[in-house]
Amino acid sequence: MIRALLLTTLLASPAFADEVWVTNEADNTVSVIDANSLKVLHSFDTGERPRGITFSRDFKRVYICASDSDAVQVMDPDTGEILHDLPSGEDPEQFVIAPDDRLLYIANEDDAITTVVDTQTRKVVAQIDVGVEPEGMGISPDGKVQVTTSETTNMAHWIDTETHKIIANSLVDPRPRHAEFSPDGAQLWVSSEIGGTVAIFDTSDHSEIGKISFTLKGVRPEKIQPVGMRFSPDASKVFIALGPANHIAVVDAKTLEVEKYILVGRRVWHMATSPDQTKLFTTNGVSGDVTVIDIATLEPIDTVKVGRFPWGAAARPTSK
Amino acid sequence: MRIQWLIGVCAALLLGAPASSETLRIDWLEHQVTPPPILSNIAAVPESLGLDGTRLAIGDIRTTGRFTGQDYALNETVIAPQDDFLGAAKSVLADGAKVLVVKAPAPDLLALADLPEAKDVLILDASTQDDALRGDDCRRNVLHTAPSYAMRADALAQFILFKKWRKLALISGQLPEDLAFTAALKRALTKFGLTLAGEKEWAFDADMRRAAAAEVPLFTQDLPDHDLLLVSDEPGDFARYIAYNSWLPRPLAGSEGLKPVGWSGVVEQYGAAQLQNRFREAAGREMAQGDFAAWVAVAALGEAFTRTQSTDPATLRRYLLSDEFRLAGFLGRPLSFRNWNGQLRQPIPLVTERALTALAPLEGFLHQTNELDTLGIDAPESTCAAFGDSQ
């Protein structure tokens, strides 16, 4: 029995010592979690109030929005060393990297601007006026359309990445926090924190094709506040973090029905999928931890203590 | 036909071109008051309290309007303490004002609301806290965005109960606003099953900046033992000198110490930090309750105009009082209006000088429809009769 366990561990861990990175908003650090052992491997210092985090598509760099330092920091994920800052505009909160791995689209929350930065030349390519408090950032899989949501204007702004002009604006329910394209690029999902809903748009004509509401037994409707969203690896489901409702909703991507609610830590924000696509990691802001969910069974399997107010999450494969 | 029109609107919105060039006119109408004299010479009430919140919100909703093809015009009318408020209000109405955000004492507000020419306008009261204006003296054409005294007092009482502080004492000032807050505090204590062990009226006219250390211990010596000393001193006259000078070393709450307020510079969660940054940059000071009440009033009008695409006061009012209206107000829960008296439902921060201590309603204070209705006068006990058709 022990031998069998050992063998499994040996087989599983060295080959895929993948990592999940979490920004700790109130500690000015990132925690690096081993996706298999679920231990915190490192804690690296960042600028002030780190929130959005994403890896370059080749995983050689990690970008971190240090909101109160007014900087996007570029870190070497192997050493934790901050290599340089990118010109980010004021108060960067979230961002998204283009499929070409070069342009970074940054939401400047205090300035009502989306800033486009070339990560190679480290220059600002464009600044686009959007609504008040831009936050959610999505990009279509083909890289042709970027969507910025503005929290106080209650809109999704569709931006043509060639001209850097707004081509459409879609009104959504109050306080949109996150925008996520379906992996096939056909749909855009937008979560509205105060509206308590998720709107789904057809990307071909920007029309709204559905809206999801949530009901949780014993939880007041006003506490159900959808924020982060992520498609399951096979794109059949969408995981939606419900903030202070302390649950992840699992939604069937076709029928738009909620299949299940998974209990996680307090004030759940964002999620990352392990690179082997078996686990989902959720950042729980108030409880200061990360819930690990088995994607096959949709059951929580562990809780990992990280820093104070974990917010953003991103994963990278480190198998050699 | 109807459907076609809808598609037309959507298409225009999608192209980012103005859907219409309609402008909502919002009037800021303020009757300045001469504040009562207070002992301290520091930190006077900012003259632009409220108006700064209005201006910030106009900027916010105008940004939204850029994408919906809607615009806003803000007309500011500020009347000096000695000048005729009602006369000025009449001219503003004669000039075509239909939607007003008002900062004026209760008698002025009522006089305005009762003008025949104001019958069909929409008035958002962004300053008064009087419970009578939400009860017997409510008016159909007036909505209130500042929390009432009762809401603030209930928030504090919830916290006292949560802390299991059973022995309470109270010191009250004698100005009308002190008496109103004292009445609300007493009502809240009764509502939550708490009692006062003792109370005193503040009746000094000495200069406390010099005498506090000598006078306050004696003044508080004969109060029965207490866990918490409540103070009702709304203009901020004397209570600051009671802190640390009381006979027993006890924390203060109410108008000083731990304060239940509609807003404060220390509120930072739920995205509030962004609003605070914008306000600080624009006004050069911390955002206070009066600023937030004005910001919320204008933001609510913007939301109603965006969703209804109408400048008609009746349409805007109907939307604001409907279940569809949910405003993001940086306090963690959607804000909405009570359809029985026009009061804005809102969480109440309990703050000290430097931190948010708690946010009411506190965990465990339940309500059959909305936990925010554990704060203030709830529908079954409301004496407001003017909102019958809205429910």
Contact A194 B328 (CB under 8 A): yes
Instruction: Return the higher-pLDDT residue of A154 and B213.
Output: A154
**Residue B164 and residue B88 share a domain:** no
The least confident of A8-17, A277-286, B30-39 is A8-17
Q: Which of B14, B268, B331 to mutate to test the interface with A (most CBs of A within 10 A)?
A: B14
Q: Which of B14, B274, B334 sits opposite A133 (nearest CB)?
A: B274
- Mean pLDDT score, B60-73: 94
Asked whether the ipTM of the predicted complex exceeds the cut of 0.85, the reply is: no
- Mean pLDDT score, B313-340: 96
Within 8 A of B328 by CB-CB distance, chain A residues are: 151-152, 154, 174-175, 193-194
The pLDDT score that the predictor gives to residue B377 is 95
Within 8 A of B296 by CB-CB distance, chain A residues are: none
**Domain assignment present for B310:** yes
In this model, does residue B134 exceed pLDDT 50? yes
Contact A169 B16 (CB under 8 A): yes
Contact A131 B13 (CB under 8 A): no
Report residue A16's pLDDT band, with 50, 70 and 90 as the boundaries: low
Q: Could you list the residue range(s) of the whole structural domain that residue B174 is in?
A: 160-260
The pLDDT score that the predictor gives to residue B368 is 86
Phi, psi of A284 (to 5 degrees): -110, 100
**Residue B276 and residue B208 share a domain:** no
Within 8 A of A174 by CB-CB distance, chain B residues are: 303, 326-328, 334
* Beta-carbon count within 10 A of A102 CB: 16
Put simply, whether B6 touches A (Cβ < 8 Å) is: no
B23 closest CA partner among B299, B298, B302, B297: B302
- Rounded Cα–Cα distance for residues B152 and B254 (Å): 9
**Domain assignment present for B353:** no
Burial of B363 (0-12, 13-18, 19+ CB in 10 A): exposed
The pLDDT score that the predictor gives to residue B213 is 82
* Beta-carbon count within 10 A of B229 CB: 25
- For chain B, the average pLDDT equals 92
* Nearest residue in chain B measured CA to CA from A220: B370
In this model, does residue B8 exceed pLDDT 60? no
The least confident of B182-186, B239-243, B347-351 is B239-243
Put simply, whether B13 touches A (Cβ < 8 Å) is: yes
Structure tokens at B309: 């695409």
Within 8 A of B372 by CB-CB distance, chain A residues are: 222
In this model, does residue B66 exceed pLDDT 50? yes
B375 closest CA partner among B364, B357, B361, B356: B361
A234 closest CA partner among A264, A277, A266, A271: A277
**Residue B275 and residue B248 share a domain:** no
**Residue B111 and residue B51 share a domain:** yes
- Rounded Cα–Cα distance for residues B52 and B326 (Å): 23
**Residue B202 and residue B139 share a domain:** no
Q: Which of B67, B68, B328 sits opposite A175 (nearest CB)?
A: B328
- Mean pLDDT score, A259-268: 97
Contact A155 B67 (CB under 8 A): yes
* Nearest residue in chain A measured CA to CA from B368: A220
Put simply, whether B10 touches A (Cβ < 8 Å) is: yes
Report residue B11's pLDDT band, with 50, 70 and 90 as the boundaries: very low
Is A179 within 8 Å of A147 (Cβ atoms)?
A: yes
**Residue B234 and residue B168 share a domain:** yes
Contact A170 B16 (CB under 8 A): no
Chain center to CA of A161: 21
**Residue B330 and residue B240 share a domain:** no
In this model, does residue B240 exceed pLDDT 80? yes
Q: How far is B278 from chain A (nearest CA, A)?
A: 7
Place of tokens 């209005």: B54
**Helix, strand, coil in percent for chain B, rounding step 5:** 40, 15, 45
Contact A194 B327 (CB under 8 A): yes
Contact A220 B68 (CB under 8 A): no
Structure tokens at A15: 């080959």
Is B263 within 8 Å of B295 (Cβ atoms)?
A: no
Contact A154 B64 (CB under 8 A): yes
Contact A153 B64 (CB under 8 A): yes
* Nearest residue in chain B measured CA to CA from A175: B328
**Domain assignment present for B81:** yes
The predicted-structure confidence for A85-94, as pLDDT tens digits, reads as follows 999 888 898 9
Q: How far is A36 from chain B (nearest CA, A)?
A: 33
B150 closest CA partner among B137, B133, B126: B133
End-to-end alpha carbon distance in chain B: 32
Domain boundaries, chain A: 17-316
Q: Which of B20, B67, B336 to mutate to test the interface with A (most CBs of A within 10 A)?
A: B67
Q: How many domains does chain B fold into? A: 2
**Domain assignment present for B355:** no
Put simply, whether B326 touches A (Cβ < 8 Å) is: yes
Within 8 A of B66 by CB-CB distance, chain A residues are: 129
Class of the domain covering A17-316: mainly beta
A190 closest CA partner among A140, A235, A155: A155
Report residue A319's pLDDT band, with 50, 70 and 90 as the boundaries: low
The predicted-structure confidence for B149-187, as pLDDT tens digits, reads as follows 999 999 999 999 999 999 999 999 999 999 999 999 999
SS (H, E, C) A264-298: CCCCEEEEEECCCCCEEEEEECCCCEEEEEECCCC
Torsion of CA B356, B360, B363, B367, to 10 degrees: -170
In this model, does residue A2 exceed pLDDT 90? no
* Nearest residue in chain B measured CA to CA from A112: B63
The pLDDT score that the predictor gives to residue A12 is 42
Q: Which of A91, A168, A175 sits opposite B15 (nearest CB)?
A: A168
**Residue B99 and residue B32 share a domain:** yes
The pLDDT score that the predictor gives to residue B391 is 52
Burial of A155 (0-12, 13-18, 19+ CB in 10 A): buried
- Rounded Cα–Cα distance for residues A88 and A96 (Å): 12
Structure tokens at A310: 């974990």
In this model, does residue B79 exceed pLDDT 60? yes
**Residue B339 and residue B271 share a domain:** yes
**Residue B271 and residue B255 share a domain:** no
**Domain assignment present for B117:** yes
The pLDDT score that the predictor gives to residue B7 is 41
**Residue B179 and residue B192 share a domain:** yes
**Domain assignment present for B224:** yes
Place of tokens 């406390």: B208
- Mean pLDDT score, B81-92: 97
Is A196 within 8 Å of A188 (Cβ atoms)?
A: no
Contact B16 A166 (CB under 8 A): yes
In this model, does residue B222 exceed pLDDT 80? yes
- For chain A, the average pLDDT equals 93
**Domain assignment present for B225:** yes
**Chain A residues whose C-beta sits inside 8 Å of any chain B C-beta:** 91, 109-110, 112, 129, 131-133, 151-155, 157, 166-171, 173-175, 193-196, 205-207, 220, 222-223, 244
Within 8 A of A131 by CB-CB distance, chain B residues are: 63-64, 67
DSSP state string for A215-267: --TTS-GGG-----EEE-TTSSEEEEE-BTT-EEEEEETTT--EEEEEE-SSS
Place of tokens 């008496």: B179
DSSP H stretches of helix in chain A: 2-12
Whole-Å CA distances, A95 to A15, A119, A136, A312, B388:
31, 12, 8, 11, 49
Q: Where would I find the beta strands (DSSP E) of A60-144?
A: 62-66, 71-76, 81-86, 92-97, 103-108, 113-118, 123-129, 134-139
Q: Which of residues 246-285 of B touch A (CB under 8 A)?
A: 271, 274, 277-278
* Nearest residue in chain B measured CA to CA from A197: B326
Backbone region of residue A156 per phi and psi (left: phi > 0; alpha: psi in -120 to 50; beta: other values): beta
In this model, does residue B10 exceed pLDDT 70? no
Residues sharing a CB contact under 8 Å with residue B41, sequence separation 6 or more, in sequence order: none
Q: Which of B66, B277, B333 sits opposite A110 (nearest CB)?
A: B277
Whole-Å CA distances, A37 to A278, A295, A304, A316, B274:
13, 17, 10, 15, 38
Q: How far is A295 from chain B (nearest CA, A)?
A: 29
Put simply, whether B303 touches A (Cβ < 8 Å) is: yes
**Residue B136 and residue B281 share a domain:** yes
Q: Which of A91, A109, A222 sits opposite B370 (nearest CB)?
A: A222
**Domain assignment present for B8:** no
- Residue B376's CATH number: 3.40.50.2300
Structure tokens at A188: 């855009």
